[in-house]
Structure 1
């Protein structure tokens, strides 16, 4: 392995590792979901389907989308709420005296931008306004699109089951108001909200040495916005 490849792997280890774990989890979900789906078909005396057919089915897609939309909702809300809300003693919060969008000087934008700052950070007007919240906007857009995809694949999967049971299918509008859709949605949302609250609160008192998500081991419990 060349030095440049080793350097690339080292410099991008966090992203590459999580992308690999993501791919492995999707593959595992596909095999487990395929087996479970065929078990349901067998119980109803219906013909089983192949792995490829399952992975292109609405049943597989809705399971993916309902998890994706909840994750991106978590990121979207966390990004925007942490602008204005703080948690004393948590490294997940900024300092208590920095509530709000902060000054141009603190954010190094406009005339305060440096030579290595992104070009749009040095710009003014609409370009700067868009770039200044671009991460939140993109996370919000991905959430909306994945939520829409969940609703579309969800109604298709739900109607397939309805037809197998000789029951009337629902329209998209009816499904979005149905208990099945909100049961799928809310069980994912509550877990994401609990995870964020747990991280913000437990990190006040507990430590993980060397992690930027934790305060230094010797930091006071009241230290806020300090990362290790």
Structure 2
């Protein structure tokens, strides 16, 4: 049986869908709608009593796993050798670890501003490169924090961070990202530009407001 990926709309579980698409591995995507701000009851499954998202089931191994960082590491480990991960001895290994785990605090709105400050403190030309010039799972983990997370706050514009915008452009144009977002959040307007939403989903009381939806 293939991996079963439980994804809640507008959430960090987009990381798992993105990773699976980049790896071109078979998986079953099970989508869950927010209710209207928090996780729905449909996510309270065996092995996931708290209803967390993302949630992964690997029937072949009897594995049930939550937490996006843990799930990413599990999938990378199962996939074997891949350019999306780095190991000890590889160039940029320490930077890869740093950004991979930094990004995993992305549920906290304050982390968005903190991450931008950290990126802007990098040497000129390095901002927004995550683990370096090579695209890796650190980029997959990081991109949610400065895109979809902004629907929940804080209200930050990215015009002052041209290299971050360049990085977002590079990531958002990847076929794997486009496929992942179309499968996981087909209604969502992607926040890959400089402008911030006029208001947040927290202020609006959840996804019923429609501020996150594509404009026809």
TM superposition score category, shorter chain reference: under 0.3
Q: TM-score, normalised by structure 2?
A: 0.27
> Which structure carries more helix by proportion?
1
Greater C-alpha Rg: 1
